Amino acid sequence: MRRHIILLLICLIPNIVWGQGWEICFTQPDITNLNAGDSNENGYYFFGKVAKPKIEENNVAYAVFVNNDGSYKCNYYIPESGQSYFSSALCLEDGNAFVAGLKNPSSYGDEYKQIWVAIINQDLEIVEEHTYPLPDPYFLAHHVYIAAGIQGDIILTVAVRKVNLNYSVNNDCMICRFDVHGNMLESKIAVTPFLGHVNPRDLSIMRGSENMMLMSSGFNSSGGQCVSYFDKDLNFFSHHDVLDGRLVAEWINSSIWLDNTHFLMSAMMYDRYSADEKEIAAIFKCDTTLALLDTLIYNRIDTADYTPSNRALQYVNDSTIYFATYHETFWGIRGEMYNSVVMMLIDKDLNLLGTKRLEYDDRVFRIYHMQKTHDGGCLIYGNCMLGDQNAVYIKKLVREDFIVPLSVDENTEICHGIDVYPNPTTDVLNISINNVENQEVVVSVCNVNGQKMLERKLSLPDNSTIKIDVSSFENGIYFYDVLNGKNSLRGKFIKD
């Protein structure tokens, strides 16, 4: 189908020096979500949708390209009828972008019935495009993710929905192979357990292999978070559940392969033994069986309820890995919006090297994704509201923007009057607590399986140190929890 392409905006950002941080923020008449992106040698692609609530609730596919000189352009892609959006992208060797999304022939509702792939150049022109209907008995699709190519082809997953014999809705996973022109070469359906509800989050090629790993929910009988494996012929062959111990995964969303058998995974967790049920942003180092090898939990008193962004991890090299989290501030008439982002700079061993906090008084914003830059920095992007106006938000950060923490003790950022040492420890763990509001504290320690190893209720004078004998503990990773009134600080230590 032919479509009208409307060029919205071409402008030059003044005073940008490539190699330094910068920010692009321009207003839009409608809500704009940038969901995906990638880069070529000339600049950066961003793709998503524009929601038009005043025009029959249409969603319209949308794109931005930012050149290395700081100029940018934007395009709508308006179909002759119905609605559409982009949700995943991969840059090809020729510099064009392979973009995948969904189309709904109807202008009403959210029943997207077609997979849509397009090849788009950096002038944001569609070079080639194809639409593919869903196979029977599936009637609805959502959550499209692209993996890097296998033998020159491109692999895509999409959640597809059907009505079962009991008239309940459940999702399966459709996995497809395309060539670089967007032609579908084959597709298969991975059927989830009865009444499963698969929700793909991230698809990656396993390093040193042509197998693929999909982060999602729904491939296990409980419908919980898991990683699933597919071979190069698109056959599903196994899955592993994610961390069913003290920390429970609400969702997992991003992966970085460190070598053939180890990867980093970002997750939004909650603590099953905590009464407040606050969300916790975490990074886990795992092997392919999901054995937990190390963890970095970002949950201090001032960062409670921060959760990872959709594409939360970006790998530059072993000593430069970026992790983005955001904080919910209110539920507005236009949906969830956020006005605080906290980012971490870490290395492959989960050492915390620096942090960066972004807050504004004049806007609220939501960060959807992140990608690395050519000079070792990162881009975060999403949408924001400037007063009552919608805006596109793209910000570049460089490594030097990240502040070295005041105190870092074996991957845990320590502040607000608490220190834990030595870490790792062989016999005694010291927890030093200073300047607490309430001298009544509860200290507990659990292992990675959620087993509570000890709990102490203490009344402390100012500037006290609690000594915990861990000599009888088996070697491994443990979590401590210090509850002081309504404030709780969690972290981890290693018993050697």
Helix H or strand E segment including 22: strand 22-28
Least confident of 166-175, 229-238, 276-285: 166-175
Q: pLDDT tens for residues 404-419?
A: 653 333 333 333 456 7
Which region holds residue 41: left if phi is over 0, alpha if psi is between -120 and 50, else beta? alpha
Contact 73, 85 (CB under 8 A): no
Output the pLDDT for position 181: 95
Report the relative pairing of strands 418-421 and 428-433 from DSSP bridges.
antiparallel
Spatial separation of the C-alpha atoms in residues 102 and 100, rounded to whole Å: 7
Which residues lie closer than 8 Å to 169 by C-beta, 6 or more apart?
Answer: 161, 162, 163
Output the pLDDT for position 258: 92
Report the relative pairing of strands 487-495 and 476-484 from DSSP bridges.
antiparallel
Segment 343-370 mean pLDDT = 81
Q: pLDDT tens for residues 43-54?
A: 999 999 887 654
Output the pLDDT for position 153: 92
487 pLDDT tier (thresholds 50, 70, 90): low
Which region holds residue 470: left if phi is over 0, alpha if psi is between -120 and 50, else beta? alpha
Give 432 or 234, the one with higher predicted confidence: 234
Output the pLDDT for position 444: 82
Inform me whether the pLDDT recorded for 78 exceeds 60. Answer: yes
Output the pLDDT for position 22: 85
Q: pLDDT tens for residues 179-201?
A: 999 999 999 998 776 555 677 77
322 DSSP β-pair partners = 314, 345
Spatial separation of the C-alpha atoms in residues 355 and 322, rounded to whole Å: 10
Q: pLDDT tens for residues 124-165?
A: 999 999 999 998 888 788 778 887 777 789 999 998 887 654
> Token pair of 127, please?
């070079």
Architecture of the domain spanning 4-406: 7 Propeller (2.130)
86 DSSP β-pair partners = 101
Inform me whether the pLDDT recorded for 215 exceeds 80. Answer: yes
> What values do phi and psi take at 302, rounded to 5?
-90, 5
> Token pair of 399, please?
């490594």
Report the relative pairing of strands 58-67 and 72-78 from DSSP bridges.
antiparallel
Output the pLDDT for position 191: 77
DSSP track, 240-288: EE--BSSEEEEEEEEEEE-SSSEEEEEEEEEETT-TT--EEEEEEEEET
Give 235 or 305, the one with higher predicted confidence: 235
> Token pair of 151, please?
């033998």
By C-alpha distance, which of 30, 61, 27, 29 is closest to 46?
61
Inform me whether the pLDDT recorded for 302 exceeds 60. Answer: no
Spatial separation of the C-alpha atoms in residues 15 and 49, rounded to whole Å: 29
Inform me whether the pLDDT recorded for 330 exceeds 70. Answer: no
Output the pLDDT for position 304: 47
H-type alpha helices, 75-205: none
177 pLDDT tier (thresholds 50, 70, 90): very high
42 pLDDT tier (thresholds 50, 70, 90): very high
Spatial separation of the C-alpha atoms in residues 297 and 155, rounded to whole Å: 32
Give 308 or 342, the one with higher predicted confidence: 342
Segment 374-381 mean pLDDT = 90
Q: Is 400 helix (H, G, I), strand (E, B) or coil?
A: helix
Which residues lie closer than 8 Å to 194 by C-beta, 6 or more apart?
Answer: 164, 170
DSSP state of 233: T
Contact 45, 39 (CB under 8 A): yes
Q: pLDDT tens for residues 230-245?
A: 999 999 888 888 765 6
321 pLDDT tier (thresholds 50, 70, 90): very high
- What is the number of residues in the chain? 496
Handedness of CA 123, 125, 128, 132 (dihedral sign): positive
Output the pLDDT for position 57: 52
Give 294 or 11, the one with higher predicted confidence: 294
Contact 58, 73 (CB under 8 A): no
Place of tokens 């420890």: 425
CATH number corresponding to 412-495: 2.60.40.3080
Output the pLDDT for position 62: 92
Environment class of 114 (CB within 10 Å of its CB; exposed 0-12, middle 13-18, buried 19+): middle
Output the pLDDT for position 21: 80
Contact 262, 282 (CB under 8 A): no
Segment 465-485 mean pLDDT = 82
Domain positions in the chain are: 4-406, 412-495
Contact 153, 178 (CB under 8 A): yes
Spatial separation of the C-alpha atoms in residues 472 and 197, rounded to whole Å: 43
Output the pLDDT for position 170: 67
Q: How large a percentage of the chain has pLDDT more than 70?
A: 73
Output the pLDDT for position 331: 41
> Token pair of 140, please?
């609805």
Q: Is 2 helix (H, G, I), strand (E, B) or coil?
A: coil
Can you give the pTM of this predicted structure? 0.76
Output the pLDDT for position 19: 53
Segment 293-319 mean pLDDT = 70
